[in-house]
Amino acid sequence: LSRRAVLGGAGAGLAVGAAGGAWGGRASAQAPAAAGPGLGAARVPFHGARQGGITEPAQARVEWAAFDLLASTGRDGLAALLRGWSAAAARMAAGEPAAEGENQIALDAGPSSLTVTFGFGAGLFDKAGLADRRPAALAALPAFPGDALDPARSDGDLWVQVGADDALVAVHALRVLLRLATGLAAPRWLMSGFARTPGATPHPMTGRNLMGQVDGTNNPRPSDPDFEAAVFATGPDWMAGGSYAVLRRIRMLLEGWDTLPLDKQERIIGRRKSDGAPLSGGPGAVERTPVDLAATDPDGVLRIAPDAHVRVAAAASNGGAAMLRRGFSFHDGLLPDGSPDAGLLFAAYQADPARGFVPVQQRLARGDGLSRYLRHEASALFAVPPGAPAGGYVGQQLLE
């Protein structure tokens, strides 16, 4: 467990936003986040061995921004940008103004568990004269069956993820970071997402997605013996302690999904919709009852269907492939045909995408019952370097 994840809760003496957590166990282990002033005062320190925004529970609001480095920026300009970004992020995470005299749209709020996470895309390395230091794990993701990717909303040289439990705080931080990039990197795409607000449920619970399912239950947990090895990279040297983020904008075909009877919806996932309990566990099962992929009913029929999402995605079905999922919902209005432009901003963190996301998505795209109700519309892969020590900046190990 990263220093930050521990400090995030204990250092501030407040629960860091618990609902919609990256994994159910940690969320339920935390004290309920207080509504009112407690929510705004919660802090996640920017500096530490790991960047924030990976192992912390998903905040109520997220902003993703990808940038292309300008040709004139080069290595020194990139270092200046990352220095400026890190300094501003550290100040804002501490609840301080990002700069003197800035337009403080979040002036009245505390940091609200603000995290800022920076990532590097494959294209960055050539542009910054660092081609020889590009990690092999940043090799382009393969095309998957059914992909409907929009290049304009995919990829990018740099990625910034801003998460906070208050939308004004998140948007303010995003705008500060956009301004600091002026003349050095051009925004390529922006996406906004959300998860449940801490305090919205009577006690902390795993969040739900826009299909209504409890989502995040079977994520790897920091207490798992192989958590570190699955989620965090050991190399190249400058990436040790970092992670690789796979992002997918996945639109849900909600009109078709919403008309499915409940039992069909549950069969497609392999879990009960009401509480997320696995269908292999019988009526007494609860959300955290272990999934039994071999369980059959008295007629010998598998209780978790052959094409159920949890079976096809399980590490056991994919040679042990594991990733930490930390996605957010999006709802961006209506498409021209009147259907909702809504779904999941899927994010998965792993030590190596070739041993995490890629084999799992290869199987999901071919044989998963859920895929019929999804469209993968944008995709990106970023190296998320380790965190910065006090006084340092993210990416310093690469650039100096």
Chain residues binding ligand HEM by CB under 6 A are: 209, 211, 213, 215-218, 248, 250, 252, 269, 271, 291, 309-310, 313-315, 343-344, 346, 357, 360-361, 364, 374
**In sequence order, which residues have a C-beta less than 8 Å from that of residue 211 and are 6 or more positions away?**
252, 254, 257, 265, 373
Type of residue numbered 122: A
Burial of 158 (0-12, 13-18, 19+ CB in 10 A): buried
**Which H or E element spans position 345?**
strand 340-350
For the CB of residue 279, give the shortest distance to ligand HEM in the complex, in Å: 11
CB closer to ligand HEM out of 45 and 281: 281
Distance, CA of 46 to CA of 49 (rounded, Å): 10
For the CB of residue 317, give the shortest distance to ligand HEM in the complex, in Å: 8
Catalytic residue among 157, 215, 307, 352: 215
- For tokens 């199987």, the residue is 363
CB closer to ligand HEM out of 235 and 372: 372
* Backbone dihedral angles phi then psi of residue 248, each to the nearest 5 degrees: -140, 125
The angle, 0 to 180 degrees and rounded to 10, between the axes of the packed helices 167-180 and 74-93 is 160
For the CB of residue 27, give the shortest distance to ligand HEM in the complex, in Å: 12
What tokens were used for 164?
A: 């906070």
CB closer to ligand HEM out of 254 and 398: 254
CB closer to ligand HEM out of 160 and 269: 269
For the CB of residue 220, give the shortest distance to ligand HEM in the complex, in Å: 9
- Which residue has the CB atom at the shortest distance from ligand HEM? 218
Query: Does the bond joining 385 to the residue before it have cis omega, within 30 degrees of 0?
Result: no
What tokens were used for 320?
A: 């042990």
For the question of residue 215 being annotated catalytic, the response is: yes
Torsion of CA 368, 370, 374, 379, to 10 degrees: -50
Type of residue numbered 55: T
For the CB of residue 209, give the shortest distance to ligand HEM in the complex, in Å: 5
CB closer to ligand HEM out of 134 and 376: 376
Q: Indicate the length of the chain as a whole number.
A: 400
**In sequence order, which residues have a C-beta less than 8 Å from that of residue 104 and are 6 or more positions away?**
97, 172
Say which DSSP state 109 is in.
S
CB closer to ligand HEM out of 228 and 292: 292
Distance, CA of 284 to CA of 155 (rounded, Å): 45
For the CB of residue 133, give the shortest distance to ligand HEM in the complex, in Å: 28
The residues that are catalytic are 215
